[in-house]
Amino acid sequence: MFRPSKSIVGLDLGSSVVKAVEISLEGPEPVVTGFSRVEIPPGGTTSEAIAAVFREGRFRSKRVVTSVAGQDVVVRYVSLVQMTDSELKSAIRFEADKYLPFELDEVVLDCQGLGSLVGAEGSEAADNQMNALLAACKTEAIESQVELVHDQGLQLAAIDVDLFALANAWELCGVMPDDLEEEARGIALVDVGATRTSINVLFGGQTCFSREINIGGKDMTEAVARRLSVEIFEAEAIKRASESHEAEVNSAIAPVLEDLVSEIALSLDYVEHHSGFSVEEILLSGGGVLAPGAAGYIEQATARRARTWNPLEGLRVDAQRVDVEELEAWAPTLVVAVGLASRVRAA
């Protein structure tokens, strides 16, 4: 009757909001057992927001997974001759200096083999080559995050990368189709955060391209603030619920969306040109896509299907521990947190 459970809290340390989602394994089933989000006010700190999140979240566990992003992180997809995982671990340190803008002694480095070259169709080159994913983060950024978490009395289970958390959330929520032929297509996961937009392109369920763009929801909010001559906090509220200022908001954020879409389109064109497959759909998440008309504009401007997706789709929620209505209202902004918490399956 009483199945053992284990829990992990995915802690998304955003620049303006700290979000946390707890996922527990009840037997083999992942269940959302906790949720909290706290905005960082002007003059506030991330540390204070983390403390508030855990006061309000009613989480079962203090085990957390966090992530890194931005200029301290480098992700590269490299082509190598076929080798085992152990050989890759040894070889990558000799190859890494070709791809990293940092000195090796400044970073924490990891890698993962991805199998045959994505998009190659049985060519001779594909038979003896493989893709490998190389990720590195500056050691000081890792140490800073470890200290931040430990100072709150929390146990750090792992530090991930925002870009990879998107794919983990996508896999967890069951977006992957059952039909293998349908699965073998290109999908772009695009998360529009406050200060940056993360792109992770998947083909056949496998990551093959990722990139960060330094444009986000904050740029849209600042544009609204300038257009309406209001404070930032007022502009944010107007942007989210703009019925009375819809025309002004749309006009204000249009140049920001245009720049963002241009960068997204360049990225997807690059993938298609180098990989030989089409990116057919864009799945949008993050607070930036809550702006009115953003999803429709991205779909029209990129000439690809685009829709906002819910990372909680397919997951059971413990309604006795979680405010389901609030959770659903913020669902498109929780992709990174859900992806981080999905590591409970490997804990």
**Mean pLDDT in runs of 10 for the chain (347 residues)?**
71 93 92 95 92 93 95 90 86 83 89 66 56 92 95 95 94 61 75 93 88 93 91 82 76 92 94 87 89 84 92 92 94 95 88
pLDDT at 240: 74
Whether residue 299 sits in one domain with residue 244: yes
- Structure letter (DSSP) for residue 44: -
192 in a structural domain: no
Farthest-apart Cα atoms in the chain, separation = 61
End-to-end CA distance of the chain: 23
Range of the domain at 226: 213-305
User: Structurally, how many domains does the chain consist of?
Assistant: 3
User: What whole-number distance in Å separates Cα of residue 195 and Cα of residue 256?
Assistant: 12
> How would you classify the pairing of strands 186-192 and 279-285?
parallel
Signed CA dihedral, 25, 29, 34, 38: sign only: positive
115 in a structural domain: yes
201 in a structural domain: no
Whether residue 85 sits in one domain with residue 34: no
184 in a structural domain: no
Whether residue 295 sits in one domain with residue 219: yes
User: What whole-number distance in Å separates Cα of residue 101 and Cα of residue 112?
Assistant: 20
| H/E run at residue 23 | strand 17-26
pLDDT at 78: 86
User: What whole-number distance in Å separates Cα of residue 72 and Cα of residue 276?
Assistant: 31
Give the neighbor-by-neighbor strand order of the sheet with 73-81.
73-81, 129-138, 107-115
pLDDT at 115: 67
204 in a structural domain: no
Backbone angles phi, psi at 283, to 5 degrees: -105, 120
pLDDT at 38: 96
pLDDT at 145: 95
Region of 23 (left: φ > 0; alpha: ψ -120 to 50; beta: rest) is: beta
Whether residue 60 sits in one domain with residue 168: yes
pLDDT at 152: 94
Whether residue 169 sits in one domain with residue 64: yes
Whether residue 171 sits in one domain with residue 40: yes
- What pTM was computed for the model? 0.89
Nearest to 145 by CA among 7, 286, 11, 341: 11
Whether residue 155 sits in one domain with residue 14: yes
What torsion, rounded to 10 degrees, do the Cα atoms 147, 149, 150, 155 define? -140
Whether residue 134 sits in one domain with residue 46: no
Whether residue 79 sits in one domain with residue 60: no
Whether residue 144 sits in one domain with residue 241: no
86 in a structural domain: yes
pLDDT at 180: 42
